[in-house]
Amino acid sequence: MSELEQAVKRLGKELGFDLVRITSLQPFFRDEDAALQRIRQGLMDGMPWFSEERVRKAAHPEILMPDARSIIVLAMSYYTREDEEDALPGSRGRIARYAWGDDYHKVMKERLHLFVGRLSETLDHPVKARIFVDDGPMLERAVAERAGLGWFGKNTMILTPTHGSWIFLGEVITDLVLEPDKPLLKNCGQCTQCIDKCPTGAIIAPYVIDAPRCISYLTIEHRGPIPRHLRPLVGDWVFGCDICQEVCPVNRRAEKGHEKAFTKRSGFGVLDLISILGMSDEDFRDRFHNSPIKRAKRVGLQRNACVALGNIGNPIAVPALTDALKEGDSLVRGHAAWALGRIATWEALLALELALAREEDQEVREELVFALETTAASARSG
């Protein structure tokens, strides 16, 4: 490794990145073919932005920056310390660890821009670069794998030897001519923990995810009703899911990260779902300012809260769900009906019957009828 590569990696570490690797601009043919196949099989349905055109562009970095010569991939761990939870028992909803702190897009992009600026100062000449953090046409995990930062886990996430899969990735395409690092000669062997423990069976084969079944997709990307057959499998997750990472043996020995921006905010390891149901748009913006959770939107998070409360089954939630049945958006009303049907106390059933008498939205009425009929059938069989 020459002094130039050493300077690049040293600067990345000085700016708080836990891992820094380099790869070439060669096309990612294997990953392009795999991504196109997933799209054509319907495994990316519901994410229209993940198009064939985007994949073809992402697989050929020379298109993204014609005068580029190398790609620098930098990773930052979000596996930070944990505090005590502060939501009430019986109304707790879990959120994925990556959303416990500040929005990683902002944190990573600011740090990458600083990295490029400082690199120009160090080399005493302007460095041309283009930056990517998860929201541009870049096959970032393929880049990370080829750069030797980690290897593909069977849940399709990148596993690193030191920080597991608890990392954010950023890429800098640059005009610097850099010596590429070699890929790691590692894999997951015979381990299938992530596949076996996925509640919805979304990992349909090693390295293949049926996105519309994934809890992360259902609670974040999906905007409509969560399919009824999947709702019980979502459990108490209301934003994302960490199960396939939590069960991974590699992650059990992952080092802690040090970035303060990703330290858990108060009340963010779990959310008080009853308070979520009562949120206005202004409350939502204030509570989740600079948080990835904003991506779910208020109505989406309230929909998710209804599903989680129905799965938890604690009658403490009945008054809040009853209010949501009266005043919430139609999407929320429908899922509140489902949750009340799951809890099935006499107060919950009364709320369903009263709502059915006044409800005009056809989809919500169908949810109300389903909840009442399911509860009646359960009572007869019991």
Query: CA 118, CA 17: separation in Å to the nearest integer?
Result: 14
116 domain residue, yes or no: yes
SS3 (DSSP) at 23: strand
- pLDDT value for 240: 97
281 domain residue, yes or no: no
Mean per-residue pLDDT, 358-371: 96
Structure tokens at 197: 């423990």
How confident is the model over 208-243, as pLDDT tens digits?
Answer: 999 999 999 999 999 999 999 999 999 999 999 999
Phi, psi of 247 (to 5 degrees): -90, -5
276 domain residue, yes or no: no
Mean per-residue pLDDT, 353-377: 93
Residue 134 near residue 157 (C-beta atoms within 8 A): no
- pLDDT value for 381: 54
34 domain residue, yes or no: yes
329 domain residue, yes or no: no
Residue 88 near residue 135 (C-beta atoms within 8 A): no
Considering its fold, how many domains does the chain have in total?
1
- pLDDT value for 267: 79
Q: What is the CA angle 345-334-374, rounded to 5?
A: 45
Mean per-residue pLDDT, 72-77: 98
267 domain residue, yes or no: no
Report CA torsion sign: 362, 365, 370, 371: positive
> What is the rounded average pLDDT for all residues in the chain?
93
Query: CA 77, CA 296: separation in Å to the nearest integer?
Result: 23
SS3 (DSSP) at 366: helix
Least-confidence region, from 78-87, 201-210, 260-269: 78-87
221 domain residue, yes or no: no
Domain of 17, in residue numbers: 3-78+102-174
How confident is the model over 111-121, as pLDDT tens digits?
Answer: 999 999 999 99
How confident is the model over 10-43, as pLDDT tens digits?
Answer: 999 999 999 999 999 999 999 999 999 999 999 9
Q: Is 134 a catalytic residue?
A: yes
Question: Which residue in 18, 83, 124, 134 is the catalytic one?
Answer: 134
86 pLDDT higher than 60: no
Structure tokens at 299: 């109505």
Q: What is the pTM of this model?
A: 0.93
282 domain residue, yes or no: no
Q: Provide the percentage of residues in the chain whose pLDDT is more than 90.
A: 87
- pLDDT value for 90: 74
Tell how many helices (H) and how many strands (E) occur in the chain. Answer: 17, 11
